[in-house]
Structure 1
């Protein structure tokens, strides 16, 4: 039985949760908005297979025709990959349910729905954070709802840090302010999504699944916030920070010239970054998403 009347569990997910078997939540925005078809559909299948191979049950989360779905069948995935869908943050869930809309879920919405379902481990690519100021931008600071949600939801989030286009020092400071746990897996440096480097040190590091599970278990019991497990992108494909920062600066200048604002900023910057990198940034995104899914499944098994 679903733990909430608004949350619909796929049978495999419901059975696993009832039996106490490991489950990993997966966000659907990467499928609905991060990759074009048919790459997005292939990635959805690869993420599920990766989690399964590591011993856990995959539970991709989305809003499908107004239902909060935890675990998606082939028909639901086919809806998600067609493009032009809404992007649901946590604040959007009520109106989208009422309107019967289909939408991909951000980190904030996925964390909220996963927590309602009783799932304790969630794999994503990178979280949102504090946005950089665009040229000639005099408006209020743009801060992702991901941070606020992680500050009130007890879940372990395996991530390659925050998206590299963000103000990473300000994002790390906000994580501390909100009491969100941050621990490096095999790294003492906050990863910058496409890069293993950021120059921002981490206070806590572990180098194995058992100590990671012990730290996560303790945090989720006492802190009342999420634990961010920072897993740097695979070294073989990660971009050196000096090279990446040049692409980011070019993307920011492009957004400024074109007058991009509001919710259009992040998609514009990511598309520009992929263009300036010759497709490398999207290749890193895919590789780190799969790597994070593997680590999340191992963590869920250990927990």
Structure 2
């Protein structure tokens, strides 16, 4: 699986000594040398999969990123310190805590650090900390979006707002079909986020390669994606970017099974009158039950696929930036 950093630097060179953020030695060395680094979120570890599959998958994803020539930087808040790059014991701790582990989006970071808490970072929290550390590429499963009925409930993920103000590239599988995809794309447009589908014209919906919504933009190779990210950074834009990668075609049939279960779960939340932040946890748990674990297999497949593409993009970006500075 490659060599993992077992220690965390006392402070990040990219933050004041008073800032409760540190990079692992491995990540710090990569950033100093301009080598490719890929940020990874920890909420997918704590809340996205059961133990021990979550720990196994997290280690495999990190190993995959290393194999492709980049340094993985899983991000979380550990005992009040934002860690960019976890060691084995910290990653295991997050995995074992599972749903008992707090979640930290941007709004929760100050509280988690100020109270000495341990929390898994969401997409928005991971983006914010990645930017502080100087990491430009971030791989996750899927981003949050506008919930169905969001025009009335105002239930809009903080991920979308973060993408409008934090210049980090997010490589993901789009958004889950339980969300309102057209409205999600509208909100991303409103906030000025760059949205590209990877290798397809239609914006993917996590477990399925199609959503019925055309992607605003398209890239077809890691180099094309890297050029977009490089241009955004050199222009000094404040917005982030989304590179939506469809689930691998060999797993599409499995994805369709998950989609059918998702439709049933959505009907159930209407009958049970489940609303707000309880919707997603209920749907994900119910889908796992209905598919007898098939959703977990599909989830792992698409996360690893995202990691492959994200690492390749980070490698190309590092090459471009060294070329620009030469």
CA displacement, residues 147-186 of structure 1 (integer Å, 9 cap, x when unaligned): 0111100011101001221111111111111110011211
Partner of residue 227, structure 1: 241
Q: State the distance in 2 between where 1:119 and 1:286 align.
A: 24
Tell me by how many angstroms 1:254 deviates.
2.0
CA displacement, residues 19-67 of structure 1 (integer Å, 9 cap, x when unaligned): 1111000000010111111101101101100100110000000011111
Partner of residue 309, structure 2: 295
1:207-286 equivalences under 5 Å are: 207-222=220-235, 223-239=237-253, 245-286=259-300
Q: TM-score with structure 2 length normalisation?
A: 0.87
Q: 146, 164, 178: which one pairs with 2:159?
A: 146
CA displacement, residues 92-112 of structure 1 (integer Å, 9 cap, x when unaligned): 001111111111110000000
CA displacement, residues 175-198 of structure 1 (integer Å, 9 cap, x when unaligned): 111110011211111000000011
Q: 168, 193, 196: which one pairs with 2:206?
A: 193
SS of structure 1 residue aligned to 2:251: coil
Counterparts in 2 of 1:242 and 1:24: CA distance versus 1, 3 Å:
closer
1:196–1:240: 8 Å Cα contact kept in structure 2? no
CA RMSD of aligned residues (A): 1.8
SS of structure 2 residue aligned to 1:55: coil
2:198–2:220: 8 Å Cα contact kept in structure 1? yes
1:44-193 equivalences under 5 Å are: 44-82=58-96, 83=98, 84-133=100-149, 140-193=153-206
Partner of residue 48, structure 2: 34
Tell me by how many angstroms 1:242 deviates.
6.9
Q: TM-score with structure 1 length normalisation?
A: 0.94
**Structure 1 stretch displaced more, 2-11 or 26-35:** 2-11
**Structure 1 stretch displaced more, 261-270 or 118-127:** 261-270
- Structure 2: state its 5+ residue gaps: 1-10, 318-326
Q: State the distance in 1 between where 2:292 and 2:255 align.
A: 16
1:197–1:240: 8 Å Cα contact kept in structure 2? no
SS of structure 2 residue aligned to 1:158: strand
Q: State the distance in 1 between where 2:303 and 2:281 align.
A: 18
SS of structure 1 residue aligned to 2:201: coil
